């Protein structure tokens, strides 16, 4: 039974990706509701059925009192015995079915699936965002929003059917019941309902913004804390624990302040509600008693009216709280939309085709990119790299080397110019095929918090065990991998490496990253300080592997340690976003220019500071 309702909607069903989702709350939520339309209708009808059953029982209890007071027990049982048995059967059999149906639809069909569907689609949407988009935010805050907003959307739906739909049905039914008993009983109900509605509107208008502010403060706090935990080595190394604690305290204080504002609304609501409920109880019950004294109402009417308003009084606080929680949840969703409803700005074109790398020729044609600023990045850069040519990029930090690589990978679109691989503009091919054709080893090779095996197979998921181990051997990683053991007792290739690979040394991370790229075996190879984390002994041991990796590939290598690129076919010196020198190692030394000065000024194989070089923001 449970499985039937749990499978009414598949949250992971295929769906068309939306590049520009709605950025207003209700259209945003409606965009996820399509698969639940039938379930929502059934749940709403079940909620109405539950409310009317409750009202009918109250009404029938009044009729029962009138019946019992109008006849002796024998007569009452003789004339109404079958009726009482039918009512008992209804309460024991039909009522549980209706209540159970609502519970199954709400708790098993909607709640587990609605939030999951939003979270699944939102996570997929966020993963499609560009690298630059992620660089502008806290990873912790993004994760918090992806996790919180869908849960709150589920809470909002729950309140909508469990409380709001039930409450509306109950209040309408209560009005009908009082009208049937005596239309004049609607007068005190109206005197209560109007200010109660006004209180609801007052609360709702303030609760949404207050909840959104509180949720944003929580997300920011989460981002701050996660940022400190992720960079715990830097926190400890620079002894900045007190500073991080102080910043967290400020964020916690802001979160506390926004939460206090929320709670003030709840307190005002509770005080006003207590007063209004007193008016409701006294008004309706007193009026019913007055009608009874005037002979216009029976004892059963008085009893039913009293039971009704007492029930309504008890419900009013629950309804108000549910409505408040409904809009509070919507506030959290609204805050989460600041991230998960952002449009995808870096898209494959409608006519994009997979990249075909036949030769590996790369051309940068008058490429400029300044990240929307007036300086930094690249400025009218022209660079042609022939098939299977090995090119070293040299330049001070901020010269534009990393920008060149990011544009090649299409992490950003160049602001001007074009990047072409084998005659194909990178903007005209699919992003996945472009990046599949490029193997890259970065200076900071962070790993996923998964096993060594999973990290290696990221390069080529369909690789065999033998191919994976062979790649690890080539990167001089196999032996140390076999010695690994994590806190859960996993060993070797099954050992987990920790968040960003923190359980490994920098050299170990770098060798796993090299093995991953060896396994990928892409036709274009980019190495950004690929051996910077390796000691001289290990670097010497894998020089042959590096040479084998580059064989038959087009290679772009960035290095500050010039000895690692001196044997490249060609060395390109970039300064201020432009190419200032281009040639083989010996030729550039003979020119006596920037490269020659850098070579001569090197200390320990790294670039020394050169006051003659202009610094540019990357």
pLDDT in tens, 377-418: 898 999 999 999 999 999 887 888 889 999 999 999 999 999
Pairing label, strands 390-394, 416-421: unpaired
Pairing label, strands 570-575, 390-394: parallel
pLDDT at 533 over 60: no
Please list the alpha-helical segments (H only) found in 34-138.
37-70, 73-89, 95-103, 111-127, 131-135
**3-state SS class at 558:** strand
pLDDT digits (tens, 9 = 90+) for 109-152: 998 899 899 999 999 999 889 888 888 877 777 888 888 888 88
Q: How far is CA 197 from the centre of its chain?
A: 35
End-to-end, the C-alpha distance of the chain in Å comes to 60
Same domain, 258 and 382: no
Mean pLDDT across 8-35? 89
Beta carbons within 10 angstroms of residue 574's beta carbon: 25
Answer whether residue 1 is part of any domain. Answer: no
pLDDT at 10 over 80: yes
φ, ψ for residue 282 (rounded to 5)?
A: -65, -40
Per DSSP, the residues of 515-528 read HHHHHH--SEEEEE
Answer whether residue 128 is part of any domain. Answer: yes
Same domain, 302 and 394: no
The CATH number of whichever domain residue 526 belongs to comes to 3.40.50.300
pLDDT at residue number 226: 80
**Spatial separation of the C-alpha atoms in residues 462 and 434, rounded to whole Å:** 19
Answer whether residue 102 is part of any domain. Answer: yes
**Spatial separation of the C-alpha atoms in residues 99 and 191, rounded to whole Å:** 31
- Map 132-148 to HEC letters: HHHHCCCHHHHHHHHHH
Same domain, 67 and 177: yes
**3-state SS class at 106:** helix
- Of 293-297, 378-382, 497-501, where does the model show the most confidence? 378-382
φ, ψ for residue 365 (rounded to 5)?
A: -105, 100
Answer whether residue 17 is part of any domain. Answer: no
Same domain, 313 and 425: no
Same domain, 203 and 336: yes
246 φ/ψ sector (left φ>0, alpha ψ -120 to 50, else beta):
alpha
Same domain, 360 and 502: no
Same domain, 67 and 216: yes
492 φ/ψ sector (left φ>0, alpha ψ -120 to 50, else beta):
left
Could you tell me the pTM of the whole model? 0.75
Answer whether residue 603 is part of any domain. Answer: yes
Which of residues 317, 340, 363 is at a domain's end?
A: 340
Domain that holds residue 376: 346-437+522-618
**Spatial separation of the C-alpha atoms in residues 219 and 143, rounded to whole Å:** 9
pLDDT at residue number 187: 77
**In the β-sheet with 378-385, what is the strand arrangement from edge to edge?**
378-385, 362-369, 416-421, 424-425
Same domain, 352 and 334: no
Which of residues 340, 373, 405 is at a domain's end?
A: 340
Same domain, 245 and 131: yes
Nearby residues of 344 by Cβ (< 8 Å), 6 or more positions away: 19, 20, 125, 128, 129, 130
φ, ψ for residue 199 (rounded to 5)?
A: -65, -40
Total count of residues recorded for the chain:
618
Instruction: Tell me how many domains the chain contains.
Output: 3
pLDDT digits (tens, 9 = 90+) for 246-288: 888 888 898 888 888 888 887 887 788 788 878 778 877 887 8
Q: In this structure, are residues 363 and 385 in contact, taking their beta carbons and an 8 Å threshold?
A: yes
- Map 374-410 to HEC letters: CCCCEEEEEEEECCCCEEEEECCCCCCHHHHHHHHCC
Q: How far is CA 481 from the centre of its chain?
A: 33
pLDDT at residue number 542: 66
Answer whether residue 5 is part of any domain. Answer: no
Answer whether residue 442 is part of any domain. Answer: no
Mean pLDDT across 160-165? 76
pLDDT digits (tens, 9 = 90+) for 187-223: 777 777 788 788 878 877 787 788 778 878 887 888 7
Mean pLDDT across 472-489? 90
Which of residues 512, 536, 554 is at a domain's end?
A: 512
pLDDT at 71 over 80: no
Same domain, 370 and 263: no
Q: In this structure, are residues 72 and 30 in contact, taking their beta carbons and an 8 Å threshold?
A: no
Pairing label, strands 524-528, 438-441: parallel
pLDDT at 56 over 90: no
Mean pLDDT across 27-50? 90
The CATH number of whichever domain residue 84 belongs to comes to 1.20.1560.10
pLDDT at residue number 535: 63
Same domain, 491 and 407: no
Element (H, E) at 318: helix 299-340
pLDDT at residue number 612: 45
Long-range CB contacts for residues 588-595, cutoff 8 Å, separation at least 24: 595/394, 595/571
Nearby residues of 236 by Cβ (< 8 Å), 6 or more positions away: none
pLDDT digits (tens, 9 = 90+) for 551-599: 889 999 987 777 778 888 999 999 888 999 999 999 999 998 888 888 8
Same domain, 416 and 267: no
From the list 446, 441, 415, the residue with the least C-alpha distance to 542 is: 441
434 φ/ψ sector (left φ>0, alpha ψ -120 to 50, else beta):
alpha
């Amino acid at each position: 039974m449970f499985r039937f309702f749990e499978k009414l909607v598949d949250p992971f069903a295929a769906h068309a990706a939306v590049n520009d989702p709605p950025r207003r709350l209700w259209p945003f939520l409606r965009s996820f509701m399509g698969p639940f339309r039938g379930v929502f209708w059934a749940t709403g009808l079940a909620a109405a059925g539950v409310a009317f059953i409750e009202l009918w029982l109250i009404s029938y209890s009044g009729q029962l009192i009138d019946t019992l007071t109008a006849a002796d027990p024998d007569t009452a049982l003789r004339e109404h015995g079958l009726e009482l048995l039918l009512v008992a059967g209804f309460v024991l059999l039909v009522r549980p079915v209706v209540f159970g149906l609502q519970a199954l639809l709400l708790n098993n069909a909607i709640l587990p699936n609605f939030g999951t569907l939003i979270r699944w689609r939102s996570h997929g949407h966020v993963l499609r965002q560009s690298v630059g988009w992620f660089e502008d935010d806290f990873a912790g805050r993004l994760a918090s929003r992806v996790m919180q907003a869908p849960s709150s959307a589920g809470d909002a739906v729950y309140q909508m059917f469990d409380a709001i739909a039930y409450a509306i049905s109950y209040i309408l039914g209560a009005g009908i019941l009082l009208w049937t008993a005596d239309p004049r009983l609607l007068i005190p109900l109206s005197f209560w309902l109007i200010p109660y509605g006004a209180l609801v509107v007052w609360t709702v208008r303030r609760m949404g913004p207050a909840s959104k502010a509180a949720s944003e403060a929580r997300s920011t706090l989460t981002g701050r804390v996660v940022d400190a935990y992720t960079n715990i080595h830097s926190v400890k190394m620079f002894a900045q624990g007190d500073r991080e604690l102080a910043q967290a305290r400020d964020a916690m204080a802001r979160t506390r302040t926004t939460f206090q504002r929320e709670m003030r609304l709840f307190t005002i609501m509770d005080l006003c509600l207590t007063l209004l409920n007193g008016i409701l109880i006294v008004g309706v019950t007193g009026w019913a008693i007055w009608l009874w004294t005037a002979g216009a109402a029976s004892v059963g009417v008085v009893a039913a009216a009293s039971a009704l308003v007492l029930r309504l009084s008890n419900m009013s606080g629950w309804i108000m709280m549910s409505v408040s929680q409904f809009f509070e949840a919507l506030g959290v969703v609204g805050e989460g939309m600041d991230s998960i409803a952002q449009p995808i700005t870096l898209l494959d074109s409608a006519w994009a085709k997979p990249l075909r790398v036949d030769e590996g020729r790369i051309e940068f044609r008058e490429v400029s990119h300044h990240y929307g600023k007036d300086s930094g990045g690249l400025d009218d850069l022209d660079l042609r790299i022939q098939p299977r040519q090995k090119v070293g990029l040299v330049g001070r930090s901020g010269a534009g080397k990393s920008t060149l690589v990011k544009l090649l990978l299409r992490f950003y679109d160049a602001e001007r110019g074009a990047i072409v691989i084998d005659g194909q503009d990178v903007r005209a091919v699919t992003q996945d095929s472009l990046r599949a054709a490029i193997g890259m080893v970065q200076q900071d090779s962070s790993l996923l918090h998964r096993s060594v095996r999973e990290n290696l197979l990221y390069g080529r998921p369909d690789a065999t065990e033998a191919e994976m181990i062979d790649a690890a051997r080539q990167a001089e990683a196999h032996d140390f991998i076999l010695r690994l053991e994590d806190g859960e007792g996993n060993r070797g290739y099954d050992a987990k490496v920790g968040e960003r690979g923190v359980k490994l040394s920098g050299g170990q991370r770098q060798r796993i990253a090299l093995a991953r790229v060896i396994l990928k075996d892409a036709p274009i190879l980019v190495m950004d300080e690929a051996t910077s984390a390796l000691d001289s002994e290990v670097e010497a041991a894998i020089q042959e592997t590096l040479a084998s990796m580059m064989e038959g590939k087009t290679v772009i290598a960035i290095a500050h340690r010039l000895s690692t690129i001196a044997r490249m076919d060609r060395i390109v010196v970039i300064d201020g976003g432009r190419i200032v020198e281009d040639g083989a190692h010996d030729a550039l030394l003979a020119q006596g220019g920037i490269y020659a000065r850098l070579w001569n000024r090197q200390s320990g194989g790294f670039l020394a500071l050169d006051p003659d070089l202009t610094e540019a923001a990357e």
